Amino acid sequence: MVIGFRHTGIIVADMDSSLRFYCDLLGMTVIQEFFDSSDYINTITGLKNGVAHFVKLKMSDNTVLELLQYPSHPTEKHNLSIINIGVCHIALRVDSVIEVYEKLLKYNIPVLSEPVLSSEGIAKVFFCLDPDSVRVEMVEMLDNK
């Protein structure tokens, strides 16, 4: 049985660009960085002669986001619709959705809309795109709901 949520992993094309987005703009902290070409990583990924670059990031609530790059096996970006089956976005809680929105605009980060009130009236929300066009939902919860 599942006992909790461990982390979310995102495959990235350029680790430096992704670190600028997630750390410099969104304030996450690097807690671990390493390369792995072991039998372990090749076994669990099904790769042959694979090399994985891992960077684990911590948010202020200790949630972990894992960025991975496979320099041994570069791939193409996929342009998936938001309604595509599978993981299509991550959602991050923020203190002020307006502050994050304005900061991302200042740094020319693509946003999909201005912040809007959720249909349930419990949050202000907007989506942006990270350097690999992963949809990142920014959520400010209202009244501790």
- CB count in 10 Å sphere of residue 91: 13
pLDDT in tens, 12-63: 999 999 999 999 999 999 999 999 999 999 898 899 999 999 999 999 999 9
Residue 2: predicted pLDDT: 65
Residue 64: predicted pLDDT: 95
Residue 6: predicted pLDDT: 83
The count of C-alpha atoms lying within 13 angstroms of the C-alpha of 7, restricted to the half-sphere facing its C-beta, is 14
CA 70 to CA 54: how far, in whole Å? 9
Q: Tell me how many degrees the CA angle 100-22-131 measures, rounded to the nearest 5.
A: 95
pLDDT in tens, 57-81: 999 999 999 999 999 998 887 777 8
Confidence grade of residue 144 (pLDDT, cut at 50, 70, 90): low
Which is it for the CA torsion 70, 107, 140, 99, positive or negative? positive
Between these two residues, 11 and 3, which has the higher pLDDT value? 11
- Which domains does the chain carry? 7-69 (3.10.180.10), 89-141 (3.10.180.10)
Residue 54: predicted pLDDT: 94
Cβ–Cβ < 8 Å for 71, 51: yes
Residue with tokens 């991302």: 104
Cβ–Cβ < 8 Å for 57, 34: no
Residue 99: predicted pLDDT: 96
**pTM of the predicted model, to two decimals?**
0.85
pLDDT in tens, 101-139: 999 999 999 999 999 999 899 999 999 999 998 989 999
CA-wise closest residue to 91 among 144, 36, 139 = 139
